Amino acid sequence: MKKLISKYEVTIVPAIIGALILALGFYVATNEITPILNLLAPYSLMITGFIAFFIAFGLPGIKDLFSKPSDPKGNIKNFFKYFILTAVLGISASIFLQFILKLNLTANPTSGHLFSLIAKIPFMLLGEELISFYILLVVANLVYKKTGNQKSAELFGIILSSVIFGLLHYSTYFNGNPFTTLIHILLIQGSARIAFNLSGLKSNSIIMPLIIHLTYDLVMLGLFQ
């Protein structure tokens, strides 16, 4: 995966085209349009994610993105480390928002519908991983070309990807108050994205954060089933 930051030459026009295609996929995923498009909605981010990566990085880039996880400290350790970090960040933020700030948080609308969505969830989460890592890797690539500092490029990409990932959940968790909704999605969804992003960069593959994301969501949705 890290090759996509330092070894590939991403240019502005393909990067923007890829982003627009992903925006279209997000629109299809979150809006009632036509019966056919509604059937495609759970898979639209995944489909447009692959197209965007192909445009920006080509087929070799997609292969590098899905390379075998190879965390130097071990893939199993990576899984548990970032799964626990995701849980700690999410639960801590939830406690802070609900019991300290006394905010009324909107629950995930899929809670209580786990079994009806179980076959679609992996594809939906793969779409979320693709859009998140597209932002991270394109931004980091462009920053790296300007600065030559990979750590700074990765940090900038992680932060921007996490913020945008949180913002993409605005309509899902809107509670009638724009301000408290923003606090909710940036602290809970945004912080979870930081853990997923770190896992991907450490394992050098999108596969590990996808596994963590899938496991975490299934556990959390199962608890509130």
**pLDDT reading at 225 higher than 60:** no
Residue 69, CA atoms < 13 Å, CB-side half-sphere: 21
**Full-model pTM:** 0.93
Give per-residue pLDDT as tens, 135-149. Answer: 999 999 999 999 999
Torsion of CA 55, 166, 188, 113, to 10 degrees: -80
**pLDDT reading at 49 higher than 60:** yes
Cβ proximity of 175 and 106 under 8 Å: yes
Q: For position 144, what pLDDT does the model report?
A: 96
User: pLDDT averaged over the chain?
Assistant: 92
Instruction: Give me the percent of the chain exceeding a pLDDT of 70.
Output: 94
Mean pLDDT of 10-32: 96
Mean pLDDT of 59-72: 96
Confidence of residue 44 (pLDDT cuts 50, 70, 90): very high
**pLDDT reading at 224 higher than 60:** no
Q: Which residue has the higher pLDDT, 22 or 108?
A: 22
**pLDDT reading at 36 higher than 90:** no
- The residues, ordered by sequence, that sit 6+ positions from 152 with a Cβ below 8 Å of its Cβ are 143
Hey, CA dihedral for 117, 119, 120, 124, is it positive or negative? positive
Alpha helices in the chain (DSSP H): 3-6, 12-30, 35-65, 75-95, 114-117, 121-147, 150-167, 170-173, 178-184, 190-203, 207-223
C-alpha distances in angstroms, 72 versus 16, 64, 202, 203?
A: 33, 17, 8, 8
Mean pLDDT of 153-162: 97
C-alpha distances in angstroms, 173 versus 4, 16, 100, 166, 169?
A: 32, 27, 19, 10, 6
Mean pLDDT of 81-107: 90
